[in-house]
Chain A
């Protein structure tokens, strides 16, 4: 955990009404998720005056909702209604709150795999993101965010059966490493951790920035990057009330040294487009880890919500065919949409909730899409998993179904259109031959990358190896939108380390000059 001695105090401003508010800082950071908070904290530690603008409100653990409907309203972007446009509708779960997705994820921490860094090196990015630089940044994060393997009450039956079933099939299996301090396994990661265990950036790095003198704006969506003569000189935006969505005062922030954008893989490219930046590859290279879950119904109580929702995982298939398997406890409210039928059969199916275990496969997808700014300002994501991705997902769900039966399940609920709602151990041939159509599967898209990808060639990238936007001085992108490839693992640690490496470099260069 982060413990500070004394520093100058910063300030926080939430929704404001009235005349235009003007600010000035050395660096302006847009977005408070993994990338923005890590970059902002690094610059603040180096002694620079930082202003961070977050579009959502700042909620403390005592402000977090209890219900899933409350989470949709208070934490998720657009009530969880952002979806892809393509040959099927795939929900994209993102947060709109201080801390970004670190507030609603399971705080899973995975070091950047060596093969990913080697792949980046082959794209001309090896000079900056070396194993040493990334390792040093991740060591510091591990310490600051209390990273440790899930254990004790954080495990629970759902995670333990998952691990045992993997081991029985001779698959790699491990409890997840998480940024959580004294997790009691309340199963409420998705609604924000009311127990203050999860070390999301709204309770760690952002307060640290404030203690180091930063100004934090919440409820402050940025409308454009302020450009003058090919140089980023600040940002402009307008406060927005988190409940009524009414616009309040406009704000302008002048940046003396630079602007760092970390508005998420669905937000950064549209913001750059809105700011008048015209680069051929802007909005392209959008990638992700789409996934789906399969529910096992067991003869006795599992109590899926006892333990952390994603306490165990396997990277056995990460390289080939390219997927990660995880336990994933879902609340009753969410699992209702995964059970077949309507009316009495649906509710009768849900009566078995306490005997259900949900596990998921997240695909290292080959699909590449795009993200653009829509007419009303919302992101438009065009993305469709390929046939190869569907084959991988089908193989993943088949593996999970077999694991469920290995673990003692009576039946599995595949949630695939065209298949029976419930499959027994003798029915797995249905899943083996499930249709390879996106419209048949219940996908969810998480772990988003790209839209403003880094590269050595300006014709095939938006930012260079130091994450500077091509053709614009003093403007950097420090979030997942800069990552040029999928990772095959949870990306929070990589995003944070990338942001820290670049922010440290910026700080060192500024100090030298």
Chain B
């Protein structure tokens, strides 16, 4: 996994942590899905994901006044940073959080453990097939 892919996974994990009621996102599922996107998604989408993760990493100084990368923050401060970035007055900055939630939501919401905890039907595998004749 390349550094920007690993960073994307990390930020998505921060966006969707475990709670008292819901389990954490399956790391292997997250890794597989991010790699799938990196392999098959359009270039624009991949760039948007990496850029959003990078902006999240580098902007705590703009949101909570800490000149540190988000990796160095504790969970509470990091969540405060995320919440403030999501409400930031600069449109493009808050759109990065939308991008993280869209991508992360598609992976987190398909996690069998999360779905089971919410009493939702588990998904089967996506066949990825098409008619060839």
Using a CB–CB cutoff of 8 Å, the interface residues on chain A facing chain B are: 12, 14-15, 57-60, 62-70, 72-74, 78-79, 81, 88-89, 98, 218-219, 242-243, 305, 331-337, 340-348, 350-351, 353-354, 417, 439, 442
Contacts and interface: CB of A to CB of B under 8 A. Distances in A.
B19 A347 contact: yes
A354 B119 contact: yes
B67 interface: no
Nearest to A69: B106
Given A66-B125, A69-B107, A73-B40, A342 B130 contact: no
Given A81-B45, A346-B101, A351-B22, A59 B129 contact: yes
Interface in B96-133: 97-98, 101-102, 104-110, 114-115, 118-120, 123-133
A357 to B, nearest CB: 15
14 contacts: A14-B131, A14-B132, A57-B131, A62-B129, A65-B128, A66-B126, A67-B123, A69-B110, A342-B14, A342-B83, A343-B14, A344-B19, A347-B18, A347-B19
Most B-side CB within 10 Å, residue of A66, A335, A354: A66
A58 B21 CA distance: 41
B123 A14 contact: no
B19 A351 contact: yes
B128 A70 contact: yes
A79 B47 CA distance: 13
A69 B87 CA distance: 26
A78 B42 contact: yes
Max chain B Cβ within 10 angstroms of own Cβ: one of A333, A342, A345:
A342
A333 B108 contact: yes
A341 B79 CA distance: 8
Interface in B56-111: 75, 78-79, 81-83, 85-87, 91, 94-95, 97-98, 101-102, 104-110
B109 A331 contact: yes
Given A218-B131, A333-B106, A333-B110, A417 B94 contact: yes
B69 to A, nearest CB: 16
A417 B82 CA distance: 15
Nearest to A63: B129
Contacts of B81: 342
Contacts of B105: 332-337
A79 B131 contact: no
Contact of A333 (B75, B79, B109, B119): B109
Nearest to B25: A347
Nearest to A65: B126
Interface centre among B19, B33, B45, B94 (most CB of A within 10 A): B19
Nearest to A352: B118
A88 B125 contact: no
Given A67-B106, A333-B105, A354-B119, A242 B79 contact: no
Contacts of A342: 14-15, 79, 81-83, 85-86, 97, 101
B130 A218 contact: yes
B109 A60 contact: no
Contact of B127 (A63, A218, A331): A63
The 9 closest A-B pairs by CB, nearest first: A336-B105, A342-B82, A333-B109, A70-B126, A343-B79, A57-B130, A332-B109, A65-B126, A337-B101
A89 B96 CA distance: 12
Given A66-B125, A79-B41, A337-B105, A353 B118 contact: yes
B87 A74 contact: no
A343 B15 CA distance: 4
Given A73-B41, A332-B120, 7 more contacts: A14-B131, A60-B131, A73-B128, A336-B104, A341-B83, A342-B81, A353-B120
Contact of B16 (A65, A243, A346): A346
A62 B109 contact: no
Nearest to A194: B124
Q: Quick one: which of A69, A218, A219, A350 has the most chain B CB within 10 A?
A: A69
A353 B133 CA distance: 41
A109 B123 CA distance: 29
A170 B79 CA distance: 44
A60 B130 CA distance: 7
Contact of B40 (A243, A345, A353): A243
B47 to A, nearest CB: 10
B118 A354 contact: yes
A57 B133 CA distance: 11
Given A59-B130, A337-B101, A342-B82, A66 B115 contact: no
Contacts of B120: 305, 332, 353-354
A205 to B, nearest CB: 16
B128 A243 contact: yes
B22 A67 contact: no
A485 to B, nearest CB: 31
Contacts of B16: 336, 343, 346-347
A57 B83 CA distance: 40
Contacts of B42: 78-79, 81
B2 interface: no
Nearest to A348: B19
Nearest to A57: B130
A72 B83 CA distance: 27
A15 B132 CA distance: 7
A258 B85 CA distance: 54
Nearest to B43: A376
Contacts of A353: 118, 120
Nearest to A350: B22
Nearest to A186: B121
B85 A66 contact: no
